[in-house]
Structure 1
Amino acid sequence: MTNPESLLEITWTDPVTGRKGYVVIDTLVRGLASGGLRLREGCSLAEVRGLAQGMTRKEALVYDPADRYLPLGGGKGGIDIDPADPQATEVLHRFLAAVLPVVREQWNTGEDFGLRQETIDKVAADLGLPSTVEAVFATLDDAPAARERLATAFADIVGGISLGDLVGGYGVAQAALVAAERQGIEAGGATAVVQGFGSIGGAAARYLAEAGVTVVAVADRDGLIRDDRGLDVEALLAARDGLGVIARDALPDGVELGDRDAWLEVPCDLLVPAAMSYVIGPDDVDRVRARIVVEGANMPTLPEAEAALVARGIPVVPDFLANVMTNAWWWWVVFGDVAPTAESSYDKIRTVMRRLVTEVGEAADASGRTLRECALELTARNSAALRERFGVTG
């Protein structure tokens, strides 16, 4: 079934396993769209459609006429398979081969939930693609230099982790810190719970801890890890595997283990869902014991649940604001708005995130509307400016 509001929707069936894969192009700007590819058991066309719409918002949200970066439209991909499935990479290869014309011409993609950048890069190379953002490189006068900038940035290792795997979580941490500051919560006395310990969750935990926040619990696919005295985030990062699962035999004495969904009930100032979509539903709201929810994942909170949280006085920093920096950083590097270094990247992320969260927060305070409503309004204004400047399809 095609959604009349999407420009393009592809449903693919793997001829070997019967697994489904999806591509949705929500909007095009200058003929281009941007958005990652996820691997998740149960991934659906409706999910990918919502993610593509979120990418349209993310691209517009960070628009700044002073930047070289010219925002793109929104697109997304997903495959209904567990990333731990032994056949996952083979299915990914067949999926990308099937949708290769769209990747070459319109859809600029990269890692997302369940998929690491080095994996998709290897598959793309096997298919003859130098990168998964060739459609953008084709529009640049300095494409060789842009390729070099991106390669240099990904080669920058910060505390044992590639800069490309840190920038998104760094942005989430900055969003959380500014939101906490606006609520009168000082970082040095704050606590946080992070659900998901992949690139977004792991980096968010690292940089919250670095700012002085006590990370009291993290949850991965194997369960909850909790220590109310504060977890050693760097030790947890060193003990995780490529799917963000922490080796339990590396944990120190005194750490409490719990069920994988027990993270909702841990008291904290900052609750950061940073893994799967749809993890906070209406039935979960009364379990939440946080002062602020910061959406590190895409679509982690169902609309009815968000409304109930807000009614309880718990603000929700929406996903397309809180986790926008992975996408923005790629293009800032490619277009040359930041140097391919951690210092330059973090300075830009910190500055832009503070501006965005402050602007949205002040609008919410003045109007009595939610952070999501005010962020959507900012996105709409930027979209109008983009439409006037470039034209937008979709």
Structure 2
Amino acid sequence: MAKASEVIFTEEPHFYDDVCQYVDQAAQFTNHDKGLLNQIKACNSVYRFQFPIRRGNSFEIIHAWRVEHSHHMSPTKGGIRYSEMVNEDEVMALAALMTYKCAIVNVPFGGAKGGIKINPKNYTVAELENITRRYTVELIKKNFIGPGIDVPAPDYGSGEREMSWIADTYLTMNPGQLDALGCVTGKPIALHGIAGRREATGRGVAYAIRECVSVAEDMKALGLTAGLAGKKVIVQGLGNVGYHSAKFLIEFGAIVVGFCEYEGAIYNENGLDLDDVFNHRKSTGSILGYPKASKEFKDSSEGLEQDCDILVPAALENQITDKNIARIKAKIIAEGANGPTTPAAAAAFIENGGIIIPDMYANAGGVTVSYFEWLKNLSHVAFGRMGRRYDENSNINIMNMVESTTGVTLTAEQRAMIAKGATELEIVNSGLEDTMVRSYHEIREIKMSNKKIDSLRTAAFIGAVDKIAVSYMNMGIWP
């Protein structure tokens, strides 16, 4: 049986093929029927379409996609990417990764993904709204959206605003549908979104890294101590995922020493102030020129190659390749983005003793909290609303009884801390943390069960393939 590092990969990066090769690599450690494995890899539905929009006195053709990779669970789930670089191969790959991602963190969705081939910066708000609403109408016409069918979410280039337009368009075209708001997640709180969704992916990345470095045995093999305290981190991308990954890693005790963006990179071995860097970029349009950086690089890729313990690529795919992997000094790569490390680069990094926390686990925080939002929309009640005051009153009664029997008097601050019932945000974060903790150790146990499994990615795919295969067999498709 071949090791993961022995699998031969194509030189040119083809994202969907990369994902399929990872499945093939994991399949070596399973006993599933070849036909079943082919079904697990295949994209079930690929909808490619185009539509015109008016810009001034002329028309422009917009190219768009929606891919539903797997229907072993319903609905399917996945974000919509707004980018000039969107293509069919990328959307298919991201849809496939969503299938495996949901299986890994035990979220009952099939995988899907959407893409609109535009640069949002080149359009007015009104034009973006027109594009988003027309895209939604096209999905509705083909039955590619609905709370029990396919549930989009934000992705690169889109956010709460675009999700609110999608929700409103779906509501308009489906009057009286009770669960209509469950047609999309990542909505604003005012439109029945959920607390914590915006920062969920970055928070999940931080939880994933924290769990990885908490295993003393694994860290010893890297020459590191257990725990995040003092670990040096470089983050690529200051968007939603990168910013919040850095924010929570700092809260957990890590030191962010570098930031990389498309315009360049900055570095300071003593640490960088996240909000100060963010505000500098907001005011100047670039992270370059930040006065507290000891080094800066006009070539962003050079920032990835500086000294650190943990590298967090949280931008786009194919950022770490066989062309630069030998210069990467980090001992852990935590994939905040989808597919930032090519298979050849990943194999080389692991061969040299590094650990890669794979994307379909590391960035699963977003879909996990999207699942909570979907449940909230179907139940029509916010988390914590029914029980929060009851919990507070019960805790107050317990404190009163303890004080009366022991003679100990708690301060007002202590009483408030103990009595407090959980808010929606606290419940969401608790559910996310539990999901990321359990899933990491489930993946690691698979890896440790067989010495020939040489990466967490392969272990994660093995677990995902097994779960999806069981779902198909339970559907009666395979005996």
Q: Deviations over 1:321-369 (max 9, x none)?
A: 1011100111124325965633222222222212211221233234231
Q: Which amino acid aligns with 2:437?
A: R
1:223 aligns with 2:264: yes
Q: Which amino acid aligns with 1:223?
A: G
Matched residue, 1:322: 362
- Cα distance in 1 for partners of 2:432, 2:108 equals 16
- Contact 1:34–1:75 under 8 Å retained in 2: yes
Q: Deviations over 1:232-273 (max 9, x none)?
A: 1133345565xx996549944445432222222111111111
Q: Which has the larger radius of gyration?
A: 2
- Cα distance in 2 for partners of 1:93, 1:252 equals 43
2:153 partner SS: coil
Compared CA separation, residues 233 and 341, structure 1 to 2 (3 A): farther
Q: TM-score, normalised by structure 2?
A: 0.69
- Contact 2:312–2:334 under 8 Å retained in 1: yes
Deviates more, 1:182-191 or 1:244-253: 244-253
Q: How many residues align?
A: 369
Q: Which amino acid aligns with 1:49?
A: M
Matched residue, 1:103: 145
Matched residue, 1:189: 230
Q: Which amino acid aligns with 2:199?
A: L
1:364 aligns with 2:447: yes
- Contact 1:32–1:135 under 8 Å retained in 2: no
Q: Which amino acid aligns with 2:467?
A: N
Q: Report the Cα offset of residue 49 of structure 1.
A: 0.4
Q: Report the Cα offset of residue 45 of structure 1.
A: 0.4
Q: Which amino acid aligns with 2:265?
A: L
- Contact 1:361–1:371 under 8 Å retained in 2: yes
Matched residue, 2:171: 129
- Contact 2:72–2:468 under 8 Å retained in 1: no
Compared CA separation, residues 277 and 135, structure 1 to 2 (3 A): farther
- Cα distance in 2 for partners of 1:164, 1:350 equals 13
- Cα distance in 2 for partners of 1:42, 1:96 equals 20
1:211 aligns with 2:248: no
- Cα distance in 1 for partners of 2:437, 2:204 equals 10
Compared CA separation, residues 387 and 238, structure 1 to 2 (3 A): farther
Matched residue, 1:345: 428
| Matching residue within 239, 255, 260 for 1:198 | 239
Matched residue, 1:117: 160
- Contact 2:266–2:288 under 8 Å retained in 1: no
Matched residue, 1:54: 97
Matched residue, 1:271: 311
Compared CA separation, residues 152 and 239, structure 1 to 2 (3 A): farther
Give ranges in structure 1 of 5+ residues lacking alignment: 64-69, 157-162
- Cα distance in 1 for partners of 2:463, 2:281 equals 37
| Matching residue within 464, 473, 476 for 1:379 | 464
Matched residue, 2:296: 257
Q: Which amino acid aligns with 2:101?
A: K
Q: Deviations over 1:12-31 (max 9, x none)?
A: 22434334211111112454
Compared CA separation, residues 357 and 37, structure 1 to 2 (3 A): same
- Contact 2:81–2:154 under 8 Å retained in 1: yes
Q: Which amino acid aligns with 1:201?
A: G
- Cα distance in 1 for partners of 2:366, 2:159 equals 13
Compared CA separation, residues 318 and 113, structure 1 to 2 (3 A): same
Deviates more, 1:377-386 or 1:343-352: 377-386
Q: Report the Cα offset of residue 80 of structure 1.
A: 2.1
> Runs ≥4 in structure 1, deviation > 6 angstroms?
147-150, 390-393
Q: Report the Cα offset of residue 277 of structure 1.
A: 1.3
Compared CA separation, residues 249 and 59, structure 1 to 2 (3 A): closer
Matched residue, 1:9: 46
- Contact 1:12–1:95 under 8 Å retained in 2: no
Q: Report the Cα offset of residue 51 of structure 1.
A: 0.5
2:122 partner SS: coil
Compared CA separation, residues 191 and 392, structure 1 to 2 (3 A): farther
- Contact 1:40–1:113 under 8 Å retained in 2: yes
Give ranges in structure 2 of 5+ residues lacking alignment: 1-37, 53-58, 220-224, 377-381, 385-422
Compared CA separation, residues 92 and 277, structure 1 to 2 (3 A): farther
Q: TM-score, normalised by structure 1?
A: 0.83
Compared CA separation, residues 34 and 174, structure 1 to 2 (3 A): same
| Matching residue within 91, 112, 128 for 1:75 | 112
Deviates more, 1:209-218 or 1:93-102: 93-102
Percent of aligned positions that are identical: 25
- Cα distance in 1 for partners of 2:48, 2:258 equals 38
- Cα distance in 2 for partners of 1:236, 1:223 equals 13
Q: Deviations over 1:102-160 (max 9, x none)?
A: 123622101101111222323542x343799x9993699xx9xxx99895664x4xxxx
